[in-house]
Amino acid sequence: MQLRQEKSVSILAQLKQWMQDNIMHVTPQSSIGKAITYTLARWDKLCLYTTNGKNQIDNNLVENSIRPLAIGRKNYLFAGSHDAAARAAAIYSIMGTCKINNINPYQWLEQTLPLINDTKLSQLNDLLPI
């Protein structure tokens, strides 16, 4: 986190100043005008990674985990029902959680599925792949 403070904070400050100096010189509907407006509206969130070492600078982990869903998006339109789509989303979320936590999804399912019937509703969180 110290490195982020040393390197990133000053660069972010310069970037913000540049955007504030230039926002009045660009057309609001231009690509750069939209980009500056979007960024300044979310500035505090953009800078959060400099204050907490656990925060990532980007969302690549999430993007990579949902990429298979995005690629097959049209196929998922035909889940059969809203309930089926909700169940598919839950399964994809669990598999994504396994991937992020370096857990083999097959092994997790193999260990977890036999336990579900005997697990109290209040203890289901204990079975999650975290």
d(CA 93, CA 70): 13
Predicted pLDDT of residue 75: 67
Residue-number span of the structural domain to which 40 is assigned = 2-50
Residue 77 reports pLDDT greater than 80: no
Q: Which of 10, 27, 50 is the last residue of a domain?
A: 50
Q: What's the domain count of the chain?
A: 2
38-42, 77-81, 101-105, 118-122: the lowest-pLDDT one: 77-81
Residues 87 and 46 in one domain: no
29 and 67 inside one domain: no
Euclidean distance between CA atoms 95 and 3, whole angstroms = 33
Q: pLDDT tens digit string along 15-66? A: 999 999 999 999 999 999 999 999 999 999 999 999 988 888 888 888 887 7
pTM: 0.52
